[in-house]
Amino acid sequence: MTDITLEIMPSGHIKFKRGDKEYNSKVRQVISNLVDGDEDVMAEIDEFLSGSEDSELLIGDRIFCG
């Protein structure tokens, strides 16, 4: 089981981490429910999440990006 952690910022924005394909799939499901399937928002989410899916972890269990 993978835990998904979302943080609601004071501005109302949602902060979440991205990970491998399995983790990102679960994030997509949660976010899709929050935005009621809004296709424009989901396109942005997909673009953000896809950046980490093909990354190979050499050490550890987190992906860092600058």
pLDDT at 66: 47
Average pLDDT over residues 3-31: 87
Sorted by where each begins, the domain ranges of the chain are 16-53
Distance CA(39)–CA(6), nearest Å, equals 20
Partners of 15 in the beta sheet? 7
- Total residues found in the chain within this entry: 66
With cut-offs at 50, 70 and 90, classify the pLDDT of residue 21: confident
User: Whole-model pTM above 0.85?
Assistant: no
pLDDT in tens, 28-64: 999 899 889 899 999 998 888 887 776 665 666 665 6
